[in-house]
């Protein structure tokens, strides 16, 4: 082996002797646990936000636009007055903002796969779902920002939740759990399609009936029967009702059970499908 002298230029060169000593000291510590690995990936998601905070723009601006659009454009027509409608709309639009933001989790994952960094994670001796779980945990920060901005916009317009701070916090917590579970749909689609554009196309088609075919914007009693049938089983409706009840200071009771059941089912089905594709993605 020849040891070349490092050229005396501005850009530093690798130092073979230092590499040799780094190799000699690279013994492996004890393997961290699944939770610690997931949190490390969550930390990565936060670092990305730190480096490009502009990625929070979509989670802050679009919910505000939604709130303004629906309250002022449709508020009078739907509920008689803006003040009456905001009480009904606010919890629902909170859920809607979070669901739409959650689609970007799939986009981030697709980008990781396309850029190759995902291969690095898959080749590591770690608990396999941790990269995805961590990514979703990191995204709950984005979801919380979206929820907070939406809530502030609604408060500004005149929303006065009867449940108070505690009710809003409980509703937000339920919403985050539901969004985490629903995100596994997006991770699965990200594993199936071959481009970010295709992913977003499919995700929008999937999210439309979930968001609009629900009780977010209007009381379903005015809808035709078949649509009411869908709204009743739509997991988003259950999430919205639960969040609405908590924020309005009403007991959410059975709706919480529904949300918990749906969340568990979503993770069980789409989490499993995602991990199945994870072994051999495109």
Partner 1 sequence: MADLAIETQGLVKVYGATRALDGIDLAIPRGGVHGFLGPNGAGKTTAIRILATLIRPDAGTARVLGRDVIHQAHEVRSLVSLTGQFASIDEDLSGRENLRLIAKLYGYGGASATGRADELLEAFGLDDAAAKQVKNYSGGMRRRMDIAASLVATPEVLFLDEPTTGLDPRSRNEVWDIVRALVAHGTTVMLTTQYLDEADQLADRISVIDHGRIIAEGTSTELKASVGAGSLHVRVMHRDDRERARGILIRELGVEVEAMSDPQALVAALEDRGRVTRAITALEDARIELAQLSLGQPTLDEVFLALTGHAAEPGDDAEEAA
Contact footprint for partner 1 (CB under 8 A): 1-2, 4, 6-7, 11-16, 18-32, 36-37, 40, 43-44, 47-48, 51-52, 112, 115-117, 119-126, 279-280, 282
CB 199 within 8 A of CB 106: yes
CB of 115 to partner 1, least distance (A): 7
CB of 201 to partner 1, least distance (A): 22
Distant-in-sequence, close-in-space partners of 195: CB < 8 Å, separation ≥ 6: 110, 114
| For partner 1, the closer CB: 127 or 230 | 127
| For partner 1, the closer CB: 6 or 264 | 6
CB of 36 to partner 1, least distance (A): 8
| For partner 1, the closer CB: 1 or 205 | 1
d(CA 105, CA 183): 7
d(CA 120, CA 205): 31
CA atoms within 13 A on the CB side of 84: 9
**Collapsed DSSP state (helix, strand, coil) of residue 162:** coil
Query: How far are the Cα atoms of 13, 144, 208, 259 from residue 140, in angstroms, in the given order?
Result: 41, 6, 21, 17
CB of 100 to partner 1, least distance (A): 22
d(CA 113, CA 138): 18
CB of 77 to partner 1, least distance (A): 44
| For partner 1, the closer CB: 52 or 221 | 52
The overall longest dimension of the chain from CA atoms, in Å, is: 84
**Structure-token match 């006065």, residue found:** 160
CB of 227 to partner 1, least distance (A): 42
| For partner 1, the closer CB: 51 or 221 | 51
| For partner 1, the closer CB: 13 or 257 | 13
């Amino acid at each position: 082996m020849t040891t070349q002298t490092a050229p005396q230029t501005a850009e530093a060169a690798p130092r073979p002797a230092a590499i040799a000593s780094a190799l000699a000291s690279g013994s492996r510590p004890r393997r961290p646990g699944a939770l610690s690995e997931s949190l490390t990936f969550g930390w990565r998601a936060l670092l990305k936000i730190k480096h490009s905070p502009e990625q929070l723009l979509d989670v802050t601006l679009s919910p505000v636009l939604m709130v303004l659009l629906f309250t002022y454009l449709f508020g009078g027509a739907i509920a008689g007055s803006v003040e009456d409608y905001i009480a009904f709309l606010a919890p629902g639009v909170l859920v809607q903002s979070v669901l739409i933001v959650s689609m970007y989790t799939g986009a981030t994952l697709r980008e990781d796969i396309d850029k190759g960094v995902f291969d690095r994670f898959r080749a590591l001796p770690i608990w396999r779902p941790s990269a995805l779980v961590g990514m979703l945990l990191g995204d709950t920060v984005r979801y919380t920002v979206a929820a907070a901005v939406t809530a502030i916009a609604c408060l500004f317009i005149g929303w006065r939740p009867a449940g108070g701070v505690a009710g809003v916090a409980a509703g937000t917590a339920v919403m985050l759990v539901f969004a985490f579970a629903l995100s596994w749909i997006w991770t699965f689609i990200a594993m199936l399609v071959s481009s970010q554009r295709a992913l977003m196309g499919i995700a929008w088609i999937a999210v439309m009936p979930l968001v609009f075919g629900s009780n977010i914007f209007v009381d379903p009693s005015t809808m035709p029967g078949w649509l009411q049938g869908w709204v009743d089983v739509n997991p988003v409706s259950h999430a919205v009702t639960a969040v609405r009840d908590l924020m309005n200071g009403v007991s959410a009771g059975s709706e919480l059970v529904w949300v918990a059941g749906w969340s568990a089912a979503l993770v069980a089905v789409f989490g499993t499908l995602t991990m199945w594709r994870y072994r051999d993605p495109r």
